Amino acid sequence: MTLGKPIRKAVIPAAGLGTRFLPATKAMPKEMLPVVDQPAIQYVVEEAVNAGLTDLLMITGRNKRALEDHFDRAPALERTLELKGDLSRLEAIQHASNLGPLHYVRQGDPKGLGHAVLCARQHVGDEPFAVLLGDDLIDDRDELLSTMIEVQARTGGSVVALIEVDPSQISAYGCADISAVEGEDYFRVNRLVEKPAVADAPSNLAVIGRYVLHPEIFDVLEETEPGRGGEIQLTDALQTLAVSDCEGGGVYGVVFRGRRYDTGDKLSYLKAVISIASERVEFGEELKSWLKEFVN
Ligand code: UTP
């Protein structure tokens, strides 16, 4: 394995069917749904770039076109905006195509998040890499990915991001049983369970959509049988690594207490849009006073 080099690769899975968001996602990936004025996936790509990741691989599926087009140049549109003198919009669309270079791999059949990550094997090779889910947004004022990258370098294992949720919500997430690591602010993950029943959940710590993984995960994923929902689950492969003593074994958790927005289901998406919009300088205050009036 390539040791000692900073992590530079990010894998962004965006090939899921988005069934919770149908019919909006019938012909468009849910990662392209707008959050105020840019698609959710752009926030995620910006987060990866801001964390110093320079080699970005997106896992796309049958609706890949919109994703690729969004991060590509749009010469005709650029010319029109230039002629109109609309420089701020010109800059906004050019910004999206300057985030790259982005690479794409297609997951022919969406057989689960674990399978999506496995599709990155050839591109990633034998080095640790980050995974950012395209429907999970982390506020750019709050630090997460850089901390996880540091923890991966210190432990040599794999790292998951955890949030505390209301115990009744845990069955919507992967759940982690953790223990303290002396003198450190990260935790050792003893066990991971994908979407446990509330009564069986080992904690109220939920796995969210940021990972920094040791490349050993690929060998494990090759052997991971379909789990919950008939899908190849990344959580199941991480559970194998959590209890492994081999090189690349060991899973660690970073507990995130910052702002996170889920855009994967309708209600969370609406909350995400309102939260982010209400902080925009152009119309945040106006939106908040309208919301107060509307609720009253
Ligand atoms: P989700 O389980 O939230 O996505 O996967 P989904 O399957 O698209 O959504 P629902 O449950 O049907 O509404 C989390 C992330 O993993 C990607 C998704 O695109 C999303 O970013 N994913 C999931 C893949 O890339 N491939 C898959 O086979 C499954």
Q: What is the pLDDT of residues 29-86, one digit of tens each?
A: 999 999 999 999 999 999 999 999 999 999 999 878 999 999 999 999 999 999 999 9
Q: Which residue in 119, 133, 120 sits closest to 43, CA to CA?
A: 133
> For residue 295, what are the contacts with CB-CB under 8 A and spacing of at least 6?
none
The secondary structure of residue 225, as a DSSP letter, is P
Q: Does ligand 1 lie within 6 Å of residue 133's CB atom?
A: yes
Torsion, Cα of 166, 240, 112, 179 (10° steps): 20
Torsion, Cα of 192, 196, 201, 204 (10° steps): 80
Question: 3 alpha carbon to ligand 1 midpoint, in Å?
Answer: 31
Convert the pLDDT of each residue in 202-248 to its tens digit: 999 999 999 999 999 999 999 999 988 899 999 999 999 999 988 88
pLDDT band at residue 4, thresholds of 50, 70 and 90? low
For the whole model, what pTM was predicted? 0.95
> For residue 80, what are the contacts with CB-CB under 8 A and spacing of at least 6?
none
Convert the pLDDT of each residue in 137-169 to its tens digit: 999 999 999 999 999 999 999 999 999 999 999
**CA–CA separation, 159 vs 213, rounded Å?**
6
| Overall average pLDDT of the 239-264 stretch | 94
| Candidate of 11, 12, 17, 31 to mutate for ligand 1, largest count of ligand atoms within 8 Å of Cβ | 17
**CA–CA separation, 187 vs 207, rounded Å?**
13
All domains in the chain, ordered by first residue: 9-264 (3.90.550.10)
pLDDT confidence of residue 2: 46
Q: Are β-strands 187-194 and 251-255 bridged in parallel, bridged antiparallel, or unpaired?
A: antiparallel
Closest-lying ligand 1 atom to the alpha carbon of residue 231: 28
**CA–CA separation, 171 vs 108, rounded Å?**
28
Buried b / exposed e over 46-76, threshold 16 CB at 10 Å, is bbbeebebebbbbbbbebbeebeebbeeeee
Query: With 60 as the cut, is the pLDDT of residue 281 above it?
Result: yes
> For residue 38, what are the contacts with CB-CB under 8 A and spacing of at least 6?
92, 96
Convert the pLDDT of each residue in 93-138 to its tens digit: 999 999 978 999 999 999 999 999 999 999 999 999 999 998 899 9
The tally of CA atoms less than 13 A away on the side-chain side of residue 192 is 30
pLDDT confidence of residue 245: 86
Start-to-end Cα distance in the chain: 59
Query: With 70 as the cut, is the pLDDT of residue 3 above it?
Result: no
Q: Does ligand 1 lie within 6 Å of residue 151's CB atom?
A: no
3-state secondary structure of 231: coil
Query: With 60 as the cut, is the pLDDT of residue 1 above it?
Result: no
Lowest-confidence region among 1-10, 49-58, 102-111, 256-265: 1-10
Plot region of 53 (φ>0 → left; ψ -120 to 50 → alpha; else → beta) = beta
The secondary structure of residue 154, as a DSSP letter, is H
**CA–CA separation, 119 vs 107, rounded Å?**
7
Question: 38 alpha carbon to ligand 1 midpoint, in Å?
Answer: 20
Task: Kindly report the average pLDDT of the chain as a whole number.
Answer: 94
Q: Does ligand 1 lie within 6 Å of residue 16's CB atom?
A: yes
Question: 182 alpha carbon to ligand 1 midpoint, in Å?
Answer: 35
